[in-house]
Amino acid sequence: MSSVQTFFRDKSVLITGASSGIGEELALQLAQAGAKLTLTARRKDRLETLAQKIADAGKPRPIVAECDVTRDGDLERAVAEATRAFGKLDVIFANAGFGVVAPLKKLALDDYRRQFETNVFGVLRTIYAALPELEKSRGNLAIVGSVASWVATPGASPYSMSKYALRALANSITPELRASGITVTLLSPGFVASEIRITDNQGKVHPGSKDPIPPRMVVSTPKAVREILRAVASGKREQIVTGHGKVLVAIERFAPWMLRALNARMATIRAKDDTRKWE
């Protein structure tokens, strides 16, 4: 049995944003590891399909809880369902999020508010709802951030700001929660196969849209999630996920002038080719 299976076996795990992408793959791999799952997202039909897929594979059927991280009360109900079903909550993945992308002049304050409501306040709602149970279990809090918290790019200021905020949050609360026995892991993925880049600024998915990132730079979701689970199981403080993500963070730390030069070039290109017109 691997260290990941040993760590997660029989643990009660709640995942926000479990209906697609990283959240969906977390559910699949954690089910294989023997975790007791509570899956939350806005799209309950997709959660039910995922739960049935896990059950059909011979694993216990997860609890499904329709949940919008921007609404007060939803996360408290999801946590209550998890603890009622499994008697405890050991691990929570604060994974729900999306990206608002456009040049500054095409954005309004409401765009930034909408981005922060999901990506920042949604994570805070998740933490506050789960904190009493995580204190009881001396459990793990995993926050899904982004390499964008290290490397901000032109045309993505709302998203980058929200992920910078999560990194600051994780750095601040890690020593605070350690006193309660809670281990915090900040997960910072680079480009991972998911729906985030074909989701518009209102949170609507456009299945036929082309991913703007070249396929050679996109890491498969199963590979990224394996790295994520190893990081949480080993109690790492932060894990940069994907090889290109590690390279970009290293450049930002040790040769930031290189990224500034690249960003200046990207700003020129995007000004000439503003193709993401979904609003």
Known catalytic residues?
Answer: 159
Helix (H), strand (E) at residue 231? helix 221-233
The SS3 of residue 143 is: strand
CA distance 233 to 185: 10
CA distance 116 to 125: 12
Calculate helix-pair angle for 44-56, 21-33, nearest 10 degrees. 30
The SS3 of residue 238 is: strand
Q: Secondary structure of the chain: what % helix, strand, coil (to 5)?
A: 55, 15, 35
CA distance 123 to 95: 8
CA dihedral 279, 260, 145, 72 (to 10 degrees): -50
